[in-house]
């Protein structure tokens, strides 16, 4: 057997510390098994301060080229996050013939095509299991096990922070702000939690999944993305009454040769598996022609689950290097030559929950119903609660399937009516498959 496979780590943040610890301790049984010797050779970070981890002397450096260009290093683990300088680091490592392991969803969703093409050209591999779903092996499943079947759709709860917030708002009636702080304290949130609550983190993960499942090279900015900031306890309670739970859902579906992709809060059936994915857990439901529905479930955030998965990618590569197996497996990740088109948002055709604050007067409902009729939106049910002679009451309208364009027009027109007060809430309904 050849000598030890040498690993270089770039970025000693929360996940980096977890990865370094696992690689230095090598306690898991895979290290004792057939993966062969693996050593952590260098760590680069621009901050050399103590991170509460015992590092062998001289291993930590400020000089990133000591990792990216070091001839003895076989695998570079990139845990810097964000686009630049991470993109340059990854491309430099590839140029120097290193395999790359990364958890960087922002980078892969924006520059995946460039990175996979560079890796293909140089004959190296890029593994990124930790970029989506934390500890859930969904990337491996889509690349290896499920790849033989045509995939119809993917529904993901891909962000632990927002799922934690929505769960606590649902179960405890807690406020959005307090639960966001709790999720941050628990270490689930991104450094800037706007990426979590705005849906951007889920969007980046969805773009990566859509590449694996459909060969689509989607640009994140083209995909409809809404966050959970406007969800209120009142919506959660109406959803429950209607038989739904509100989840931040990332959806990609094959639709007559094109791809429908979107991230938004969705009302999903209370009785299904996905509605019962709670706290920081993530779940991904994959529907395939051959295997039907499969649900992958596990911890989607946090230092230890994520670090474990990064190390499992390192071990996968180390075993292949030791055994002489082919290591460059990026070809299926390249966008299909014919290009996969995205269904424009205006063409979505979904049921909607619309909540308005209206004055409680004769004729108000008739006016609103007429407006929906004029936009060709059929109403399925209406709930009005309370009685307020001179004040507003909440009015909830569930629609049948309607086009996004007509719903948007109806919402704009509703907001101009004198009898409607305050912001109008709209939540899309997703029945799943
Ligand atoms: N901040 C992410 C989440 C974890 O809350 O799920 C890493 O993707």
Q: In this structure, which CATH number among 3.40.50.720, 3.10.20.600, 3.40.50.300, 1.10.10.10 belongs to the domain 5-133+303-335?
A: 3.40.50.720
Catalytic residue among 41, 98, 105, 205: 205
Domain 138-299 has CATH 3.30.360.10: yes
CA of 260 to the centre of ligand 1 (A): 23
Helix axes 303-323, 14-25, angle to 10 degrees: 50
Main-chain phi, psi angles of 97, to 5 degrees: 80, 20
Q: What is the spatial distance between Cα 292 and Cα 221, in angstroms, rounded to a whole number?
A: 31
Active site residue 26: no
- Contact of 79 with 57, CB cutoff 8 Å: no
In the reported structure, the alpha carbon of residue 37 is separated from the centroid of ligand 1 by a whole-number distance in angstroms of 31
Contacts of 13 (CB under 8 A, 6+ apart): 45, 79, 81
| Residues within a 6 A CB radius of ligand 1 | 159-161, 188-190, 196, 201, 300-301
Domain over 345-429 is classified CATH 3.40.109.10: no
Instruction: Name the residue of 129, 196, 284 to mutate for ligand 1: max ligand atoms within 8 A of Cβ.
Output: 196
233-241 and 160-172 helices cross at what angle (nearest 10)? 70
Which residue(s) pair with 61 in the sheet?
44
Determine if the peptide bond prior to 322 is cis (ω within 30°): no
Q: Which atom of ligand 1 is nearest to the CA of 306?
A: 7
CB 148 within 8 A of CB 286: no
- Residue 136 makes CB contacts below 8 A (sequence gap 6+) with 282, 283, 284, 296, 297, 298, 299, 300
Residue nearest to atom 8 of ligand 1 (CA): 301
Are 385 and 420 spatial neighbours (Cβ–Cβ below 8 Å)? Answer: no
| Predicted model pTM | 0.95
Per-residue pLDDT of the chain (433 residues; tens, 9 = 90+): 458 999 999 999 999 999 999 999 987 766 766 678 899 999 999 999 999 999 999 999 999 999 999 999 999 999 999 999 999 999 999 999 999 999 999 999 999 999 999 999 999 999 999 999 988 999 999 998 887 778 999 999 999 999 999 999 999 999 999 999 998 898 887 778 999 999 999 999 999 999 999 999 999 999 999 999 999 999 999 999 999 999 999 999 999 999 999 999 999 999 999 999 999 999 999 999 988 999 999 988 788 889 999 999 999 999 999 988 888 999 989 987 678 899 999 999 999 999 999 998 889 999 999 999 999 999 999 999 877 767 889 999 999 999 999 999 999 999 999 999 989 999 999 999 8
Closest Cα to atom 4, ligand 1: which residue? 301
Domain range summary for the chain, segments of one domain joined by +:
5-133+303-335, 138-299, 345-429
Instruction: Pick the closest to residue 282 from 79, 127, 131 (CA basis).
Output: 131
In terms of phi and psi (left: phi > 0; alpha: psi -120 to 50; beta: otherwise), the region of 376 is: left
């Amino acid at each position: 057997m050849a000598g030890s496979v040498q690993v270089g780590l770039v970025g000693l943040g929360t996940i980096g510390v977890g990865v370094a610890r696992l690689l230095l301790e090598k306690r898991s049984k895979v290290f004792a098994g057939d993966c062969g010797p693996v050593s952590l050779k260098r760590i680069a970070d621009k901050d050399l301060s103590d991170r509460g981890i015992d590092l062998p002397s001289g291993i930590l450096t400020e000089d990133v080229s000591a990792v990216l260009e070091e001839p003895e290093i076989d695998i570079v683990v990139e845990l810097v996050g964000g686009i630049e300088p991470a993109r340059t680091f990854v491309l430099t490592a590839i140029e120097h013939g290193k395999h790359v392991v990364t958890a960087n969803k922002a980078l892969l969703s924006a520059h995946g095509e460039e990175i996979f093409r560079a890796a293909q050209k140089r004959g190296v591999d890029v593994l990124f299991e930790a970029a989506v779903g934390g500890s859930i092996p969904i990337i491996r499943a889509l690349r290896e096990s499920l790849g033989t079947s045509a995939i119809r759709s993917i529904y993901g709860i891909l962000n632990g922070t927002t799922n934690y917030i929505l769960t606590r708002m649902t179960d405890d009636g807690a406020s959005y702000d307090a639960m966001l702080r709790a999720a941050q304290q628990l270490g689930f949130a991104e450094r800037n939690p706007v990426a979590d609550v705005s849906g951007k983190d889920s969007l980046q993960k969805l773009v990566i999944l859509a590449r694996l499942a459909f060969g689509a090279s989607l640009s994140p900015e083209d995909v409809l993305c809404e966050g959970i900031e406007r969800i209120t306890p009142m919506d959660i309670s109406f959803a429950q009454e209607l038989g739904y739970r509100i989840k931040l859902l990332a959806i990609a579906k094959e639709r007559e040769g094109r791809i429908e992709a979107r991230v938004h809060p969705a009302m999903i059936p209370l009785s299904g598996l996905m509605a019962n994915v709670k706290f920081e857990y993530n779940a991904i439901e994959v529907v395939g022609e051959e295997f039907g529905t499969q649900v992958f479930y596990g911890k989607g955030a946090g230092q230890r689950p994520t670090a474990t998965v990064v190390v499992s990618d390192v071990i996968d590569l180390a075993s292949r290097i030791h055994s002489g197996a082919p290591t460059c497996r990026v070809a299926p990740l390249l966008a299909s030559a014919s290009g996969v088109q995205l269904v424009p948002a205006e063409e979505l055709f979904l049921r909607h929950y619309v909540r308005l604050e209206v004055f409680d007067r004769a004729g108000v409902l008739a006016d609103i119903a007429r407006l929906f009729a004029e936009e060709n939106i059929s109403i399925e049910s209406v709930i009005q609660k309370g009685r307020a002679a001179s004040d507003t009451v909440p009015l909830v309208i569930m629609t049948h399937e309607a086009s996004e364009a007509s719903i948007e027009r109806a919402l704009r027109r509703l907001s101009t009516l004198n009898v409607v007060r305050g912001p109008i809430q709209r939540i899309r309904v997703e029945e799943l498959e």
